[in-house]
Chain A
Amino acid sequence: MQCAEFESRLNDLLDERLRLDADFLLSEHARCCRECRNLAAAYEAVVVGLEQSRPPEPGVDLAARVLTDMAVASGSCLPRPAALTEGHSKRVLPGRQRLFDGRILHRRVSMLAALAAAMLLAVALRWAVGPIAMEPAGRNHDGLAPQKQPGEPLVVQHAMAPDTVARLSGRQPPILEEQATGSDSFRGLAAETSQSFAVAMQLFPGVGAAPQDAGEASANDPASDWVHGLSDGLKPVTRPTAGALNSFLQLLAAGEKGSRS
């Protein structure tokens, strides 16, 4: 027997759970070869040492601890209602537990968050749009438009728009072909706007008057009351505002360059 075979045969013997002296060839080789004899002695020491090494006994309360753990583990899983054990996979929890169930709570919180976001959006939009309706833009106090007497209807002023156009048309720059269409439509829009405004002033004469005039008009005209009733919170158009509006309409009708200013 060669030394290379010795270890393999030794392992085969141990695999059969046999003692080393059960194999005659192994014993003979170990007697002749010191190295193989030392190796065999070491293997035998391993087996003998493992037999003599006994692990300590576990605690006597191990079974009780296991059973306690089992009870705790089974108690954490709530039994499902008998009606849902067959054919239903959705778990329904009763009463207070259902209130704090994770999925339901999450759904409710999501709904509340969405509602709060919608309310914030509405408030923000109201804040952005509101000042335009509640507070008119800066008023023109520099008297660009001809001053009107109190109670003088603005219709007269708007009736002057076509004349103004005719008067100022001579100062307009030459119109190019491609600009003509846009300018004409702009003039048409301005004329239509002034006509609509004139009709509105005829229907609600008090709107375009000064505050004291508005009071007088409202006393006489029920339509004015109706308008004021609808536009609660809106300020009536004052005289300087009316003048500024007139001058703006004139500029629109004239179609002059720089009318945006």
Chain B
Amino acid sequence: MADLVDQFRGQVFGLCYRMLGHRQDAEDVTQEAFVRALRSLASFDIRREFRPWLLAIAGNRCRSFQASRTRQPRQTDEIEKLPDRAGDGQQARNLAEEVEFALSRLRVEYRQAFVLFHEHQLSYAEIAESLDCPVGTVKTWVRRARRELADQLRRRGVVQEFPDAVRRV
């Protein structure tokens, strides 16, 4: 049981952290997700993939946590950071922070689908099974997430553009 937790804790915590944007909350929800998963392990269908099932539980716990946090809003430690034009290492860190910030502003469904696809390398079919929705819906969510993230990065000046570029309508 401890081996199982050790094997998947990074991925579950990563998803929770992306979904919640707060380390302590992500740890709490990760712990809760593991407990839930282990308690319902007897009902797990062994023909299915374990990782999408576990990540689906974690995603559901994150949504429940967010719903409760919406009812009781608290101070978040999200700080809007402006990028500076320092060296390459600093620029890369700034880009990562900007992406994290843009991710936190996405709709929950978009965020979860995007993170599961791009970070956890799940296929659309696995994400659809995890989120219990059609594959086409998942594709739409991921594409909208990309577009919104790209637009946010452009609006915040993270992406260097040509000065005379004409904005698309």
Contacts and interface: CB of A to CB of B under 8 A. Distances in A.
B168 interface: yes
A66 B5 contact: yes
A47 B5 CA distance: 28
B146 A38 contact: no
B10 interface: yes
A38 B17 contact: no
A256 to B, nearest CB: 82
A160 to B, nearest CB: 91
Contacts of B6: 63
Contact of B35 (A38, A42, A69): A69
A17 B167 CA distance: 27
Contact of A34 (B96, B124, B142, B166): B166
A210 B101 CA distance: 107
Interface stretch (B44-52, B64-72, B73-81, B147-155): B147-155
Interface string B1-34: 1100110011001100110000100110011101
B85 interface: no
Contacts of B99: 45-46, 49-50, 52-53
A92 interface: no
B162 A42 contact: no
B114 to A, nearest CB: 8
Given A46-B149, A46-B153, A55 B18 contact: yes
Contacts of B161: 38, 41
B125 interface: no
A45 B1 contact: no
Interface size class of B (residues with CB under 8 A): 35 or more
B31 A45 contact: no
B158 interface: yes
B101 to A, nearest CB: 10
A229 interface: no
Given A42-B151, A58-B9, A63 B2 contact: yes
Interface in B76-127: 92-93, 95-100, 102-103, 118-119, 121, 124
Contacts of A57: 10, 13
Nearest to B162: A34
B43 interface: no
B122 to A, nearest CB: 11
A15 B113 CA distance: 12
A38 B153 CA distance: 11
Nearest to A47: B118
Contacts of A53: 96-97, 99-100
A11 to B, nearest CB: 5
B102 to A, nearest CB: 8
Interface in A19-68: 34-35, 37-39, 41-43, 45-50, 52-59, 62-67
A3 B168 contact: yes
B118 A50 contact: yes
A14 B142 CA distance: 10
B95 A34 contact: no
10 contacts: A34-B162, A41-B160, A42-B159, A45-B150, A45-B159, A49-B99, A53-B97, A56-B23, A66-B1, A66-B5
Interface of A: 3, 7, 11, 14-15, 17, 34-35, 37-39, 41-43, 45-50, 52-59, 62-67, 69-70, 73
Across the A-B interface, the 9 shortest Cβ-Cβ residue pairs: A49-B99, A53-B96, A42-B150, A58-B13, A55-B17, A63-B5, A49-B95, A52-B96, A66-B34
Interface of B: 1-2, 5-6, 9-10, 13-14, 17-18, 23, 26-27, 30-32, 34-35, 38-39, 92-93, 95-100, 102-103, 118-119, 121, 124, 139, 142-143, 146-147, 149-151, 153-154, 158-162, 164-168
